[in-house]
Structure 1
Amino acid sequence: MTKKLLTLTLALSGTAMAAALVLPALAQESLLPEGFGNPSDTPAPKPSPTPSSSPTATPKSPTPSSTSPVPGVVPPAVTATVADVTSEEGSETGDEEEVASGGLKYDLPPGARRLLSRIGPLTPETGGLAPDAFGVRGQYAAAIMRKTNGALASRWGQILLRRALSSAIDTPDTINGADLAADRAGLLLRMGESTAARWIVQSVDYDRASPRLVQVAQQTFLANADPAGLCPYVPAGLAHGEEQSWRLASAICAGLSGEAGPAGWAIGRVRSSGKISNFDILLAERVLGATGAGRRSTTIEWDKVDRLTSWRFGMATATAIDIPAALRAGEPAYMRGWTVLAPMTDMANRIAAAPDAAARGVLSSEAYVSLLSAASSEEEPPEAIAAQLGELRDAFGSATGTERYAAMQGLWAAGSTPAQRYAALVATARAAAGLPTGTDVGSDPWQLMGSMLAAGYDANALAWVQKLDVGSRAWGVMAVGSPRALNGVSAGSISNFSGNDDSADYLRSKFLVAGLAGLGRLDAGQAASAAGDLDMTLGKQTRWSRAIMAAAERREPGMVALIAAAGMQGDWSKIPPYHLYYITRALRDVGLEAEARMIAAEALVRV
């Protein structure tokens, strides 16, 4: 524990002396992601597809109550329909907020300052999209980002959206670049992508951050368990944010600067106000203690805490405080992504959160296997983890293909939840890609195909096509996931597939038809015949379908990825098949066919 706290002190002190600027007062509604708000009073071989597999509606913040609010409290979720998401097209106002620097000196010369006209770390050369990928409808894009809850059905949809949101994109004239960055980071946080959210926040010079971005920055640095990251934003937070939580942040930053007096004064003022839970104040004091500025030891007891907020997550994680399992069990799904990406988190907690993060797309296949391998170096890993690691080693390193495949099957069957079962496919992707094609894998190795495509090994999966029975589930997965169209795809072969379909209301067969039609691998007549047999409508027109096709016609891949994500919120069982048709068609039209194929294949694997 002493070493962890010493490490924290040394790591945080490096940025503690950063000067912060007070931004002009601009009236703003809350743009915090779902799960955040002002305090309330209730407590491997490189995959061939191009996508990179590396890492709610935004309600207005509730009015602070006069009794014991909690920083980072999780408000009730707000659900937005796809109609809501696309209802604000054409609402551009053309008004751009000016964000002044405050006239204070800055260390860098003007030519070295980062502009708000293009924000983001990824370029086309480093895996990002083109600067004009989101077009010129800035307010429209921001509205969709705010209304997308971040819980996406598709792993590949999340990977694509993370890539789009992290790209260096041009800021449309109709929105301030810092505001758009805030909406991008907020959506990434709701997706569990805390590291990518920090990339976006830190792509804007802190003295150019708008009140919106200051608000989201607090949650971003809490998600990354980085209290020192809050320091440059403290003056602006005190001016435009929730005052008491920013006073706690100011106390922490004073302590990081070695100023124990101001730190203690700020803590005392917050405590005397009665507007912040004493538990959250104690967490701030624990951080102060780690810096050496605390005047007394602090004991953290979770007995009366009924929820895990972003403040509690960030402060506890930063100071190596164990979070009770009962609170972990009720944490929001996006927080499991934060847990996995925070390297200071206890290994047992990271491993527990890893399957969900891998299934969502927060962890790549390589990163997931690396994390599991790191767990094997622990002195006494839990028995269940030890058994899983043993089978994973066998899947990669057994002497024969038959033994390796048997180990994979054991991993695939071990999961007790859909996320755990799909995460097992993600973990074995590279092992599956290296399995000799002469191995006996049975008559319908759909999990083997799904495992390879979960990490984009489509060329490896293609080598198995000749061994697949037409109409089998494995054949259906490859019919949409293969890098080239398969021979023999017709309404008749789809009928054979549906005859073996055990999904509810033949949803898997409907997804197959939708995917093949969207990818252009089924002509109009065959598609109409197959759709008629399944009593489905491919070309249903809605506000959402018109929006995604309009974005495709404008050749805006970033906007297509964003609207596609809005159409894939929730579980695959709740996604209308015509959504998959429009998603695959639009992605193919803007040059993202590889991603379209992976999303379609994933749908057939996960339903």
Structure 2
Amino acid sequence: MTLGLSGTAMAAALVLPALAQESLLPEGFGNPAETPAPKSSPTPSPTSAPTPSPSSSSSLPGVTPPSAVPTTSAASEEEGEDAAEGEEQTAGGLKYDLPPGARRLLTRIGPLTPETGGLAPDAFGVRGQYAAAIMRKTNGALASRWGQILLRRALSSAIDTPETINGADLAADRAGLLLRMGESTAARWIVQSVDYDRASPRMLQVAQQTFLATADPAGLCPYVPAGLAHGEEQSWRLASAICSGLSGDAGPAGWAIGRVRSSGRIDNFDILLTERVLGATGAGRRSTTIEWDKVDTLTSWRFGMATATAIAIPAELRSTEPAYMRGWTVLAPMTEMADRVAAAPDAAARGVLSSEAYVSLLSAASGEEEPPEALAAQIDELRNAFGAASGADRYTAMQALWGAGDNPVQSYAALVATARAAAGLPTSTKVGDDPWQLLGSMFAGGYDRNAMDWASQLNSGSRAWGVMAVGSPRPLAGVSAGSVGSFAGNDDSTGYLRSKFLVAGLAGLGRLSSEQAASAAGDLDLDLGKQTRWSRAIMAAAERREPGMVALIAAAGMQGEWSKVPPYHLYYIVRALREVGLDAEARMIAAEALVRV
């Protein structure tokens, strides 16, 4: 048996009403995608993602703070009073003696309140099992950076638990989805919002994955008794060995390791990693050498144990790791800087890293002794983009960064990195006839007000005009079926997908009349009003005024790459977000679609 999540492909299932309970994801111990539950403003805010110790950046003249949404920075977990105040709680025979004021109720779980950037407690409505089913079936690989930022914020909010589901189970489903999004820090917030003596079997499984994702073996210790009683016995037996070692009990640790080895159910490589952790506690009896030659899969157990003990993971193995694990890597400060930098573009493009956090990470990496030549060159261009003497020189540096990407993810990550620099560029700078990347960079960081300053300089029908038409805080003058037709005439995307996204975004935002939208859609052979279980579900959630459920169903409709997202999905997503008061998020998602296709 191999511990942890295999890096094989997850099944991407589009969620909707009447979801069956069977998993569409691959089996295997500790798969965050399968765990019975098995991550700025809109927030436009460049600081919405958990950040790896960002350094302070100098202020730029003329930069308006990102508008629209509150940030989703870490918040203190709320405390609740236990109805059974003062009673001793047990799990797996272990007593927990928590003071009443430190206990948390299962009726409301999550660290973010509306005052700290979260959604309202009733944001997911009262259909708990339905919400949990959607969370379990959503694979976490979202096309939209802003869709991920919004979903992280929703899943991290202090949410009321519907009567139809156990609070610990719903929290486990939330944390499991966050893990599949690469949001290991936010997943930990949710897991630690549930007292460990109240963890359900589902929460036990997700908690194990969460502490592996955050490379914290010691975090498993409170769950060991219940894990041995209700979880996957062999993996929890290894965890118990680690915890015995941390307590200085070498005897029980060695006994547990021996039991697991003799069972033959765990790959010996995973046992060796556990012994390496024990050696770090001082409880190991011998030095353990880790050789990766015969290992072809990077599982969550291997990731967590190797990262916790500073064991270098081979680059060839890193190259096969699932995308969410790159998010875990970049958020783990004990990881080798080279590995964090390699994972950073994907994390920035996905929304795991904010623009500020991404730049700060690159800046920290440049201070390492003898940084790689490519990284040093990238940092030099970034410095010029932010601080060159003239606007023309700054824009030239930005263009060099935007054109240096080897793939679409790296190219979009470059737009994320330059967001603040783009927002500070004087509008008198010569930027050519179609500065769509400049606007795309601003919208990637949520600087929509700064982008609006360029509106008068754009040519109607250009790509930059289209990005502005859906992303600007105020509707542009002159937007019509005719101007959309001009845009389509310049569209070089496959199947006029960019033009279809423009029509979908404008119609969803209400910036085209119904007659104009019908005319423009007809010219592109686009059925905006297509009805499916998914479309009915997201509009029903909007009618019930459930922004959290809208964000979740929207994410289910944006799985995979933008090229695979049907244009009518974007229409319903934008429309539903507007109806529940998330206008800024709706605009940012629509603008992102035009930038990334």
Please tell me the TM-score bracket, short chain as reference. 0.7 to 0.9
**What does residue 37 of structure 1 align with?**
29
Q: Does 1:545 align with 2:545?
A: no
Aligned mate of 1:489, from 479, 492, 517: 479
Sort the Cα spacing of 1:570 and 1:32 in 2 relative to 1 into closer, same or farther, 3 A.
Answer: closer
Aligned counterparts of 1:316 and 1:600: Cα–Cα separation in 2: 40
Aligned counterparts of 2:163 and 2:525: Cα–Cα separation in 1: 45
Aligned counterparts of 1:201 and 1:183: Cα–Cα separation in 2: 10
**What does residue 376 of structure 1 align with?**
366
CA-to-aligned-CA distance 1:32-61 (integer Å, 9 cap, x gap): 98685269xxxx663112153769xxxxxx
Assess if the C-alpha contact under 8 Å between 2:128 and 2:162 holds in 1: yes
CA-to-aligned-CA distance 1:200-249 (integer Å, 9 cap, x gap): 00000000000000011000000000000000111111111111111110
**What does residue 577 of structure 1 align with?**
567
Sort the Cα spacing of 1:570 and 1:232 in 2 relative to 1 into closer, same or farther, 3 A.
Answer: same
Assess if the C-alpha contact under 8 Å between 2:30 and 2:300 holds in 1: no
**What does residue 50 of structure 1 align with?**
69
Assess if the C-alpha contact under 8 Å between 1:53 and 1:361 holds in 2: no
**What does residue 194 of structure 2 align with?**
204
**What does residue 69 of structure 1 align with?**
none
**What does residue 59 of structure 1 align with?**
none
Aligned mate of 2:211, from 217, 221, 228: 221
Assess if the C-alpha contact under 8 Å between 2:111 and 2:189 holds in 1: yes
Aligned counterparts of 1:207 and 1:276: Cα–Cα separation in 2: 27
Sort the Cα spacing of 1:540 and 1:100 in 2 relative to 1 into closer, same or farther, 3 A.
Answer: farther
CA RMSD of aligned residues (A): 1.7
Report how far residue 422 of structure 1 moved.
0.1
**What does residue 79 of structure 1 align with?**
none
**What does residue 118 of structure 1 align with?**
108
Sort the Cα spacing of 1:187 and 1:572 in 2 relative to 1 into closer, same or farther, 3 A.
Answer: same
**What does residue 9 of structure 1 align with?**
none
Aligned counterparts of 1:336 and 1:378: Cα–Cα separation in 2: 21
Assess if the C-alpha contact under 8 Å between 2:30 and 2:205 holds in 1: no
Report the 3-state secondary structure (helix = DSSP H, G, I; strand = E; otherwise coil) of the residue aligned with 1:476.
helix
Write out aligned runs for 1:197-276 (5 A): 197-276=187-266
Aligned mate of 2:145, from 155, 173, 186: 155
Aligned letter for 2:456? Q
Report how far residue 274 of structure 1 moved.
1.3
Assess if the C-alpha contact under 8 Å between 2:182 and 2:323 holds in 1: yes
Report how far residue 100 of structure 1 moved.
7.3
CA-to-aligned-CA distance 1:543-578 (integer Å, 9 cap, x gap): 000000000000000000000000000000010000
Report the 3-state secondary structure (helix = DSSP H, G, I; strand = E; otherwise coil) of the residue aligned with 1:421.
helix
Aligned counterparts of 2:22 and 2:171: Cα–Cα separation in 1: 14
Aligned letter for 2:488? S
Identity %: 83
Report how far residue 113 of structure 1 moved.
1.3
Aligned counterparts of 1:367 and 1:30: Cα–Cα separation in 2: 38
Q: Does 1:450 align with 2:469?
A: no
Aligned counterparts of 1:283 and 1:108: Cα–Cα separation in 2: 33
Sort the Cα spacing of 1:35 and 1:484 in 2 relative to 1 into closer, same or farther, 3 A.
Answer: farther
**What does residue 403 of structure 1 align with?**
393
CA-to-aligned-CA distance 1:293-345 (integer Å, 9 cap, x gap): 11111100000001000000000000000000110000000000000000000
Aligned counterparts of 1:35 and 1:563: Cα–Cα separation in 2: 24
Sort the Cα spacing of 1:177 and 1:272 in 2 relative to 1 into closer, same or farther, 3 A.
Answer: same
Aligned mate of 1:360, from 339, 343, 350: 350
**What does residue 506 of structure 1 align with?**
496
Report the 3-state secondary structure (helix = DSSP H, G, I; strand = E; otherwise coil) of the residue aligned with 2:492.
coil
Assess if the C-alpha contact under 8 Å between 2:72 and 2:112 holds in 1: no
Sort the Cα spacing of 1:269 and 1:277 in 2 relative to 1 into closer, same or farther, 3 A.
Answer: same
Aligned counterparts of 1:33 and 1:253: Cα–Cα separation in 2: 31
**What does residue 351 of structure 1 align with?**
341
Q: Does 1:180 align with 2:178?
A: no
Aligned mate of 2:123, from 124, 129, 133: 133
Assess if the C-alpha contact under 8 Å between 2:72 and 2:116 holds in 1: no
TM-score (norm 2): 0.87
Aligned counterparts of 1:380 and 1:31: Cα–Cα separation in 2: 47
Assess if the C-alpha contact under 8 Å between 2:125 and 2:162 holds in 1: yes
Report the 3-state secondary structure (helix = DSSP H, G, I; strand = E; otherwise coil) of the residue aligned with 2:96.
coil
Sort the Cα spacing of 1:381 and 1:456 in 2 relative to 1 into closer, same or farther, 3 A.
Answer: same
Report the 3-state secondary structure (helix = DSSP H, G, I; strand = E; otherwise coil) of the residue aligned with 2:478.
coil
Report how far residue 485 of structure 1 moved.
0.4
Write out aligned runs for 1:579-598 (5 A): 579-598=569-588
Report the 3-state secondary structure (helix = DSSP H, G, I; strand = E; otherwise coil) of the residue aligned with 1:414.
coil
**What does residue 68 of structure 1 align with?**
none
TM-score (norm 1): 0.86
Report how far residue 374 of structure 1 moved.
0.4
Which aligned runs of 4 or more in structure 1 are off by greater than 4 angstroms? 29-36, 99-105
Aligned letter for 2:379? L
Sort the Cα spacing of 1:169 and 1:194 in 2 relative to 1 into closer, same or farther, 3 A.
Answer: same
CA-to-aligned-CA distance 1:375-403 (integer Å, 9 cap, x gap): 01101111111110110010001000000
Assess if the C-alpha contact under 8 Å between 1:36 and 1:310 holds in 2: no
Structure 2 unaligned spans of 5+: 1-20, 32-56, 58-63, 75-87
CA-to-aligned-CA distance 1:10-48 (integer Å, 9 cap, x gap): xxxxxxxxxxxxxxxxxxx99898685269xxxx66311
**What does residue 77 of structure 2 align with?**
none
Aligned mate of 1:536, from 521, 526, 534: 526
Sort the Cα spacing of 1:396 and 1:155 in 2 relative to 1 into closer, same or farther, 3 A.
Answer: same
Q: Does 1:472 align with 2:491?
A: no
Report how far residue 509 of structure 1 moved.
0.3
Aligned mate of 2:382, from 392, 412, 423: 392
Question: Which range moved further: 270-279 or 497-506?
Answer: 270-279
Report the 3-state secondary structure (helix = DSSP H, G, I; strand = E; otherwise coil) of the residue aligned with 1:447.
helix
Aligned counterparts of 2:557 and 2:90: Cα–Cα separation in 1: 39
Structure 1 unaligned spans of 5+: 1-28, 56-98
**What does residue 335 of structure 1 align with?**
325
**What does residue 19 of structure 1 align with?**
none
Q: Does 1:429 align with 2:448?
A: no
Report how far residue 107 of structure 1 moved.
3.0
Aligned counterparts of 2:25 and 2:156: Cα–Cα separation in 1: 17
Aligned counterparts of 1:360 and 1:528: Cα–Cα separation in 2: 33
Aligned letter for 1:131? P
Write out aligned runs for 1:287-306 (5 A): 287-306=277-296
Assess if the C-alpha contact under 8 Å between 1:223 and 1:338 holds in 2: yes
Aligned counterparts of 2:279 and 2:522: Cα–Cα separation in 1: 68
**What does residue 182 of structure 2 align with?**
192
Aligned pair count reads 532
CA-to-aligned-CA distance 1:463-494 (integer Å, 9 cap, x gap): 00000000000000000000000000000000
Report the 3-state secondary structure (helix = DSSP H, G, I; strand = E; otherwise coil) of the residue aligned with 1:461.
helix
Aligned counterparts of 2:511 and 2:154: Cα–Cα separation in 1: 26
Question: Which range moved further: 237-246 or 505-514?
Answer: 237-246
Aligned counterparts of 1:135 and 1:515: Cα–Cα separation in 2: 26
